[in-house]
């Protein structure tokens, strides 16, 4: 039997797109999130007494590789060394070998070279394991080295392929070391440990072929639970289980409500936050659909947004509403006129400014009635009808 962890794309010290408007406490949590996520992986490795950990590339974010990240990782590897847990790591497009990697890792850590290498190990239960892989030499590595991976034939034991690359049928724009499943299957390995794609995916059953996704989301393109895979079994069957490791979660939610006052709307969202707070620290994008014919004044919604952010600073598990996006039920059927507040429609200065240019034109003004006599609501309704007619192509 063998038990190991497969993770990838740690991106230690990677910059977050969301930070400039955050309070100091929340921003500190954001900065340490990639560290905390890997620490939780090591914690589980020790708890589960795994044989080894496979890291399939992009441990660092090369533009932000710091001494802090290297010291942290070395400390975590030392924790594993004390319990005789090995680490097999390759470098990907974000942390290529050409970035002058000079860190002296503990002796339980093996790093794949730029050429295909095979490491052998014996598990605590006496199972012989072969791990095959390579590291990127440069950031833009498009070369296909799959032909150089050795076949498992003739070598009895459990074979694991480690590859940081792009599945040929993937829709990602960032294509490195592209591969087909046929290429992987031809090697007759028992497991393929992939990296590079930040979304968890299973590409194949036989053999199990997985992207674990990244260990910590960094923005709203990386939503939901992030983590790693715990793999256990033998050369005949391997069971794969996802384990979350994120320190902060990025997510979105749709909330439907009949609330129309700022206090009611605040209470509705605050109730949602209290419900999800037990799940841990999170950034949310909230789509609020209001069942009302009258729009909520923009200034009220702005106050709600500010209040929702303000009271998260001192929460242990913050639930930060990154954006509040408001819509109304049956939006398409609601007249455009209702989008304008009564205050705006009553503001003569806004109306005068809109009409002045037209009425000051001598060629047009003599054909126009006195706009003081106009019904503003009727004007808006007429404008809406013309716009819809144009969109339908009704006008000749």
Which whole number is the average pLDDT over 155-171? 87
pLDDT at 389 over 50: no
> Would you state the pLDDT for residue 392?
44
pLDDT for residue 259: 92
Is pLDDT above 60 for 385?
Answer: no
27 conformational bin, left if phi > 0, alpha if psi -120 to 50, beta if neither:
alpha
pLDDT at 345: 64
Percent of the chain with pLDDT over 70: 78
pLDDT (0 to 100) of residue 344: 67
Which position has the higher pLDDT, 19 or 11?
Answer: 11
Q: State the pLDDT at residue 312.
A: 83
Q: Which of 183, 218, 177, 221 is nearest to 204 (CA)?
A: 183
Predicted confidence at residue 104, as pLDDT, reads: 86
pLDDT recorded at residue 199: 93
SS3 call for 8: coil
pLDDT tens across 20-35, in order?
Answer: 678 888 988 998 999 9
Residue 387 pLDDT: 63
Whether residue 260 has pLDDT greater than 50: yes
What letter does residue 109 receive in the DSSP assignment? E
Assign 162 a pLDDT band (cuts: 50, 70, 90). very high
Which pLDDT does position 396 carry in this prediction? 36
How far are the Cα atoms of 43, 47, 110 from residue 232, in angstroms, in the given order? 17, 14, 21
Q: How far is CA 133 from the centre of its chain?
A: 26
pLDDT over 70 (residue 224): yes
Contact 381, 336 (CB under 8 A): yes
pLDDT tens readout for residues 265-313: 999 999 999 999 999 999 999 999 999 888 899 899 999 999 998 878 7
Burial of 264 (0-12, 13-18, 19+ CB in 10 A): middle
Number of H helices, E strands in the chain: 9, 17
pLDDT in tens, 89-122: 998 887 888 766 667 899 999 999 999 999 999 9
Which tops the pLDDT comparison, 325 or 173?
325
- Give 142 or 151, the one with higher predicted confidence: 151
């Amino acid at each position: 039997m063998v038990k190991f962890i497969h993770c990838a794309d740690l991106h230690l010290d990677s910059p977050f797109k969301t930070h400039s408007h955050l309070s100091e406490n929340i921003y500190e949590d954001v900065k340490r999130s990639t560290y905390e996520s890997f620490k939780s992986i090591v914690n589980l490795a020790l708890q589960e007494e795994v044989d080894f950990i496979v890291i399939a590339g992009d441990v660092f974010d090369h533009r932000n590789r710091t001494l802090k990240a290297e010291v942290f990782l070395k400390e975590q590897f030392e924790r594993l060394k004390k319990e005789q847990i090995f680490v097999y790591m390759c470098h990907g497009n974000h942390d290529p070998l050409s970035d002058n990697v000079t860190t002296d890792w503990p002796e339980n850590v093996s790093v794949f070279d730029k050429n295909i290498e095979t490491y052998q190990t014996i598990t605590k239960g006496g199972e012989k394991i072969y791990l095959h892989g390579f590291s990127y030499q440069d950031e833009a590595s498009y070369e296909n080295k799959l032909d150089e991976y050795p076949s498992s034939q003739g070598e009895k034991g459990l074979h694991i392929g480690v590859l940081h690359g792009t599945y040929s049928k993937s829709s990602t724009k960032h294509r490195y070391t592209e591969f087909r499943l046929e290429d992987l299957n031809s090697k007759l390995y028992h497991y393929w440990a992939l990296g590079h794609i930040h979304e968890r995916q299973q590409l194949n059953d036989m053999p199990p072929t997985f992207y674990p996704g990244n260990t910590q989301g960094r923005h709203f393109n990386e939503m939901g639970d992030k983590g790693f895979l715990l793999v256990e079994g033998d050369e005949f069957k391997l069971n794969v289980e996802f384990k979350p490791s994120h320190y902060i979660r990025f997510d979105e939610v749709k909330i439907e409500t009949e609330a129309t006052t700022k206090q009611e709307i605040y209470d509705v969202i605050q109730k949602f936050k209290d419900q999800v707070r037990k799940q841990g620290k999170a950034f949310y994008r909230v789509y609020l659909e209001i069942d009302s014919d009258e729009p909520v004044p923009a200034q009220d919604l702005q106050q709600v947004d500010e209040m929702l952010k303000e009271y998260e600073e001192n929460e242990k598990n913050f639930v930060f509403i990154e954006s509040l996006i408001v819509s109304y039920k049956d939006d398409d059927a609601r007249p455009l006129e209702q989008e304008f507040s009564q205050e705006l429609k009553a503001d003569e200065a806004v109306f005068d400014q809109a009409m002045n240019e037209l009425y000051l034109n001598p060629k047009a003004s003599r054909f126009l009635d006195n706009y003081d006599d106009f019904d503003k609501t009727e004007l808006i309704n007429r404008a809406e009808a013309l716009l819809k007619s144009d969109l339908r192509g009704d006008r000749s």
